[in-house]
Amino acid sequence: MKRILLTAVLAVLMVLNVAAKDYDVIIAGGGTGGFATAVQAARMGCNVLLIEETDWLGGQMSAAGVATMDEGTVGIRNHGIYQEFYHKADQYYKNIGETVGTCYWNSESCAVEPSVGQVLIYDMIKEVNKLGKGHIDVLLYTKVVEVFKQGDKINAVKIEKGLQGAKKTEKIACKILVDATEYGDVIPLTGARYRIAKHVSGSIDHASKVQDFTWTAIVKEYSAGLPEELKVKTPPKGYEAYKRHLSYIKRHTADDYNVYANPTSWNTVAYYRGLPNSETKGIDEYTTKTELNIAQNDVPVSVGDIEVPELRWKKEMELRKKTLGLIYYMQNELGLNWSVDVSQKYDSPYNVWLTNKMVTDFPDLKPYEAVLKHFPVMPYVRESRRIVGLHTLISSEIDRTKKPVPFKDAISINDYPEDLHGSKRPQDLDIDIDPAASSAAESHDWDSRTGAFYVPMRSFIPEKIDGFLAAEKNISQSRLVNGATRLQPSTMLNGQAVGNIAALSVKLGVQPRNIPAVLVQVEQLEAGAPLFGKPIIDLVKGTDNWKSAQLCLINGLLDMPGKRFFPEDPISKDNFEKIVRDNNLKIETPKGVITRAFAAELFRNYLVAEANSAISKVK
């Protein structure tokens, strides 16, 4: 663990000394979406500035402590940058005799200690920088405070650097600006229209509900006894109201490991979000480290808690206080020797500053200061502002009980159910744009709601503002769809797609809205991110045949009823000519036998040539 933390410190020192210069791409927010955008854009040759308001990278996954990856199906683990991250985590834990398969009672699930997750992110950034194509600079303690435009095109931002009392501002030019913040805080600065809850900017009701937020905590068992400073000796203010929910957890129950039992046991809670333990290195016989991210410490949130700084600050205090109440309950009602995990090193300069400020503003938190400094540095924000894009993705388009829409401009595959934490009453939903949301939100058939669905390129691009993309929970989507795209693997994969859009925009000299989706699809395939929802078991991933098949399947030029593409099977000349006619392709029928693989190659080459021709006309 010492090696990991030292690596993290060195990584931070390596990237903080950033000289003032212009960038191809500036990304606000160093979470899962932001880091993936940065990595992919730099791999394609862009000079990237990744800025983060805290001093932790990884957003919801590490900075917010949601360290158990929420995969709808194991298939998503074979996609793009999330596959890379998963394999790095898997190898790290195998090397110390641990496993990533410690959560959800499923050895195929992925759990990563936040400190390890952050180091893996820095490792990936350093690897990109060593390639010498593009480069990623990282600025911590930094946020975008102003956006500059020429007409509707963004060309620069003003950033604010430093903690309270030591802040400096600087103007930096860019070709593309990406909002990958947890709250969608850059969107209002751009002038782009956005949705929040069921409203559109300009007619917002601060009382409307969004999904519940959680201030998680990483806790571990102190088998030799709780250190004094980590004891929560008195209940926090409001504890009696919290206890009504907390009493659902018992020390033991007759059905000790059943997540559906009521009441449930502490063992169930611990195993549900169980984490590997780098300190014990494989000697655990049971879970000794876990993530407090359960219904009992969720807190209802309203639009005003996002839009109004004072209300947000007060809500974040409430979030921290409720998790303090859960730890008090664990220690004093259940008699557990569990408390915050100091080995995660959340007591960073940013978090010490944040906690001191919160204790000053809310003095009743003073007795818990030592514990609060080991909480994650940010809350788990499940729902944020969302751009009004060229296409708004709605629940009927991702419905896995039927067939998700295979958009011809699909550039990312997600796979989680439409999971809303609270705020799913009909009056909370944006049924004006998503009429099916009300019935789908109440569905409890979890298994039928997992599986692949498609995110179109248009959902990352605002309706009017140029030089701007969304890459987190803030893409153009309905509230219910947000419940399916907000998870760590999804935001990583969506961020990678945005990295490709941004890099192509810079490389080709055209705005994102003018880039043919085929060119982004080609880059996604080069990066190991499939386009078609079903696996192709008779083609090797990454080969030319696989890439051609993927491109043709998502563009509707060829079909595949099962899981085999049958590349050597022939296509009749009549069938080939029908595909050409139906899709208005200008391709001559080849002589001789036309196999499916040969046809896919012809179609792929044609689509790419047409896309490049379209770009030349735009220029």
Going from N- to C-terminal start, the domains of the chain cover 2-13+22-197+384-526, 211-372, 544-618
Candidates 72, 87, 29, 113; CA nearest to 485 is: 72
Candidates 111, 106, 162, 134; CA nearest to 49 is: 134
Q: Output phi, psi for 6, to 5 deg.
A: -65, -45
Instruction: Supply the pLDDT for residue 355.
Output: 97
Cite the DSSP H helix spans in 106-249.
114-131, 187-190, 239-246
Lookup result for tokens 């997540």 = 259
Residue pair 379/59 in contact (Cβ under 8 Å)? The answer is no
Instruction: Supply the pLDDT for residue 40.
Output: 98
2-13+22-197+384-526 to CATH, choices 3.30.70.260, 3.40.50.300, 3.50.50.60, 3.40.50.1980: 3.50.50.60
The CA distance from 255 to 264, in Å, is: 8
Of 15-24, 67-76, 244-253, 485-494, give the lowest mean pLDDT range. Answer: 15-24
Which region, left, alpha or beta, applies to residue 73 given φ > 0 means left and ψ of -120 to 50 means alpha? beta
Given a cut of 50, whether residue 468 has pLDDT beyond it is yes
What number of CA atoms fall less than 13 Å from residue 612's CA on the CB side? 7
Given a cut of 60, whether residue 309 has pLDDT beyond it is yes
Given a cut of 80, whether residue 22 has pLDDT beyond it is yes
The neighbouring-strand residues paired with 386 are: 195
Instruction: Supply the pLDDT for residue 498.
Output: 98
Residue pair 355/377 in contact (Cβ under 8 Å)? The answer is no
Instruction: Report DSSP letters for 506-571, one per residue.
Output: HHHTS-GGGS-HHHHHHHHHHTT--SSSS--TTS-TTSHHHHHHHHHHHTTSS--SSS---TTSB-
508-528, pLDDT tens digit by residue?
999 999 999 999 999 999 999
110-148, pLDDT tens digit by residue?
899 999 999 999 999 999 999 999 999 999 999 999 999
Instruction: Supply the pLDDT for residue 597.
Output: 98
Lookup result for tokens 């069938």 = 575
Of 218-227, 263-272, 409-418, give the lowest mean pLDDT range. Answer: 263-272
> What does the pLDDT average to over 154-178?
92
Cite the DSSP H helix spans in 17-151.
32-43, 59-62, 80-95, 114-131
Instruction: Supply the pLDDT for residue 602.
Output: 97
The most confident of 39-53, 71-85, 103-117, by mean pLDDT: 39-53
Who wins on pLDDT, 256 or 101? 101
Residue pair 192/388 in contact (Cβ under 8 Å)? The answer is yes
DSSP assignment letter at 18: P
Which region, left, alpha or beta, applies to residue 319 given φ > 0 means left and ψ of -120 to 50 means alpha? alpha
Lookup result for tokens 């001093």 = 55
Instruction: Supply the pLDDT for residue 284.
Output: 55
Instruction: Supply the pLDDT for residue 445.
Output: 67
| Nearby residues of 559 by Cβ (< 8 Å), 6 or more positions away | 553
Instruction: Supply the pLDDT for residue 15.
Output: 46
Given a cut of 80, whether residue 6 has pLDDT beyond it is no
CA distances (Å), 157 to each of 138, 147, 149, in order?
16, 4, 9
Residue pair 31/491 in contact (Cβ under 8 Å)? The answer is yes
CA angle at 211 for the pair 383 and 190, rounded to the nearest 5°: 25
Instruction: Supply the pLDDT for residue 295.
Output: 87
> What does the pLDDT average to over 69-75?
87
pLDDT, mean over the chain: 93
- The percentage of the chain sitting over the pLDDT mark of 70, rounded to a whole number, equals 94
Residue pair 291/206 in contact (Cβ under 8 Å)? The answer is no
What is the H or E stretch that residue 143 is in? strand 142-150
> What does the pLDDT average to over 456-484?
98
Candidates 404, 533, 411; CA nearest to 461 is: 411
Instruction: Supply the pLDDT for residue 258.
Output: 72
Instruction: Supply the pLDDT for residue 12.
Output: 47
- The percentage of the chain sitting over the pLDDT mark of 90, rounded to a whole number, equals 83
Q: How confident is the model at residue 167 (pLDDT cuts 50, 70, 90)?
A: confident
Instruction: Supply the pLDDT for residue 7.
Output: 43
Given a cut of 50, whether residue 9 has pLDDT beyond it is no
> What does the pLDDT average to over 590-605?
97
Q: Which two tokens stand for residue 570?
A: 């022939």
Given a cut of 50, whether residue 228 has pLDDT beyond it is yes
> What does the pLDDT average to over 482-491?
97
Residue pair 358/190 in contact (Cβ under 8 Å)? The answer is no
567-590, pLDDT tens digit by residue?
999 999 999 999 999 999 999 999
> What does the pLDDT average to over 502-506?
98
| b/e 177-213 (16+ beta carbons within 10 angstroms → b) | bbbbbbbbbbbbbbebbbbbbbeebeebeeebbbbbb
Of 29-38, 156-165, 249-258, give the lowest mean pLDDT range. Answer: 249-258
CA distances (Å), 135 to each of 138, 374, 516, in order?
10, 32, 25
> What does the pLDDT average to over 85-104?
93
376-415, pLDDT tens digit by residue?
999 999 999 999 999 999 999 999 989 999 999 999 999 9
Instruction: Supply the pLDDT for residue 11.
Output: 45
Instruction: Supply the pLDDT for residue 287.
Output: 86
